A and B are shown apart, each in its own frame.
Chain A
Amino acid sequence: MVVLSSPSSKPSTKRIDWQAIAREFAQVVGKEGVVQRKEELLVYECDGLASYRQRPALVVLPRTTEQVSALVKICDRYAVPFIARGAGTGLSGGALPIENSVLIVTARMNQILEVDLANQRVVVQPGVINNWVTQAVSGAGFYYAPDPSSQIICSVGGNVAENSGGVHCLKYGVTTNHVLGLKLVLPDGSMVDVGGKVAEMPGYDLTGLFVGSEGTLGIATEITLKILKTSESIHVLLADFTSVEAAGQAVSDVISAGIIPGGMEMMDNFSINAVENVVATNCYPRDAEAILLIEIDGLAVEVAANSQRVEAICRQNGARSIRWPPIRRSASPSGKAVKPPSLPWAKLALIITCRMA
């Protein structure tokens, strides 16, 4: 059997001159870009996986690719590990510091650098919040498809590193399907561009390799994203079932019928009751074993036809009731009403659907 050893992970015993490193960092980003007081470092000791905590030795807040490169070169020279951090909403401890590490936080790299509607692409810095991308282009009828439930706070850099998904990824694909190119700072501090502004690039798909690499291959400092045209029409169907099997079968039948809904979310009886207990919407039957929320989007004619077919499939599988909550299209180009019920905010979105019904 092979015992795998990762490149680093030797507990470092040597003494590290953190004062000297902090001084060098300050030369790159200014004093206000370096966090070294214990109380201030506390904010960074965990991400969304809050049961694990480790205080970083230093936190540094760059604004540009060149600054990230200079900072990483300093880390390389002192042989100290560095960890990229976006908004710190990750749920697997990706941005959790390790002992004697530097956290390179992208919060100040928050500029949308280029919006090219004609070619349907946007270039952003990694600290841009997911939702801002859609906000920047929705007026012109576009949106950025990958929509994690945390989209109002998580960064595009974090999305890239985690290859994040969301409700609409069923039809439109996860983050990797929407990243055209990246500017990267490699772990030795060198800068490199991978991918480009068009989808078809020869050679190794280094963009694909980097997406989902969880900060282990370097730091993304500029990200070229693909944006999509907002669907002409969106319908949401809410169906309730007396068995999870029936709801599960309805899901399979919809897909086998060749219909790919914009989103298709399920909640079981316990989750339904949890929502009702907390907010008493009185719109989910407490005795339903499962509910399905199905979003159908596309051209108006297509949506009308598919809605009927999906409704028929749900009924064939024994759906007790089917409702079509209205959607405020202007409020949400990507059909916010069916955000996944998996987490608190999303749960609220689900309730909004209900209230509107």
Chain B
Amino acid sequence: MGKISPDYYVQDGVIPRTKLQYVLREIEALSQKHGYRVANVFHAGDGNLHPLILFDNAIPGQLEQVEALGGDILKLCVAVGGSISGEHGIGADKRCYMPEMFTATDLETMVWVRQAFDPKGLANPEKMIPTPRTCGEAARAKTQDFPGVEQF
């Protein structure tokens, strides 16, 4: 992508195969709304999308805007019944999107499992599971009472 744009941001999400056409149209709309081109390449068979968002990291502020667009694409994946990661994992990058997919109970269950292995929290802390420190308000899982409410 080098000749078109100096940098690109790879997003990774999963959608049900049958939603492909709809999701591509929506990604195009998001791309126009945010003002960044998105190139779509995917493992079509299993619905794993890798939208590449093109930008210029030398221009201050672009990375943050591109991350916001990437985040909107992830929320779109969840909205159609998909997932926020196909294969790249959650790590530090997507931990704050976990509450988009999982309820407070789901996340608490994961914390229990983690604590069973790692009661002192020394193994790769702060990754994968959102905490108030890393995600602020976003660490409060979305409750069923407010389905459409933006958390962050």
Contacts and interface: CB of A to CB of B under 8 A. Distances in A.
A9 B94 CA distance: 17
B45 A264 contact: yes
Contact of B43 (A6, A84, A167): A167
Contact of B39 (A93, A98, A260, A271): A271
B41 A271 contact: yes
B45 A3 contact: no
A170 B87 contact: no
A261 B128 CA distance: 32
B78 interface: no
Contact of A9 (B52, B105, B121): B121
A163 interface: yes
A23 to B, nearest CB: 20
Interface string B112-152: 01110111111111111111111000011101000000000
Contacts of A270: 37-40
A251 B20 contact: yes
Q: How large is the interface on A (under 10, 10 to 19, 20 to 34, 35 or more residues)?
A: 35 or more
Interface string A92-134: 1111101000000000000000000000000000000000000
Contacts of B129: 4, 6, 216
A215 B141 contact: no
A145 B120 CA distance: 36
Contacts of A332: none
A92 B88 contact: yes
Interface in B24-42: 24, 37-42
Nearest to B10: A91
A49 B93 contact: yes
Contacts of B3: 277-278
A8 B126 CA distance: 8
B41 A266 contact: yes
A268 interface: yes
A266 B20 CA distance: 11
A90 B91 contact: yes
Contacts of A264: 43-45
B92 interface: yes
Interface stretch (A24-32, A36-44, A56-64, A72-80): A72-80
Contacts of B60: none
A148 B104 contact: no
Contacts of B93: 49, 52, 91-93
Interface stretch (A14-22, A225-233, A299-307, A337-345): A337-345
Given A4-B111, A251-B20, A96 B41 contact: no
B13 to A, nearest CB: 12
B61 interface: no
Contact of B118 (A7, A9, A244, A249): A7
Given A9-B134, A96-B91, A268-B24, A216 B44 contact: no
B92 A93 contact: yes
Contact of B41 (A9, A82, A341): A341
B1 A278 contact: yes
B46 interface: yes
A116 B50 CA distance: 36
Contact of A7 (B1, B12, B18, B125): B125
Contacts of A7: 111, 114-115, 118-121, 125
A342 B89 contact: no
Contacts of B124: 81-84, 94, 214-216
Given A4-B107, A7-B115, A94 B127 contact: yes
Given A92-B85, A187-B122, A251-B17, A6 B131 contact: yes
B140 A3 contact: yes
A292 interface: yes
A92 B1 CA distance: 20
Contact of A8 (B41, B122, B128, B143): B122
Nearest to B7: A51
A341 B50 CA distance: 9
A174 B43 CA distance: 13
A79 B122 contact: yes
B63 A9 contact: no
12 contacts: A3-B132, A3-B139, A3-B140, A80-B122, A92-B88, A92-B92, A252-B18, A274-B4, A278-B1, A292-B44, A341-B41, A343-B10
Interface of B: 1-4, 10, 12, 17-18, 20-21, 24, 37-46, 48, 50, 52, 57, 63, 85-94, 104-105, 107-108, 111, 113-115, 117-134, 139-141, 143
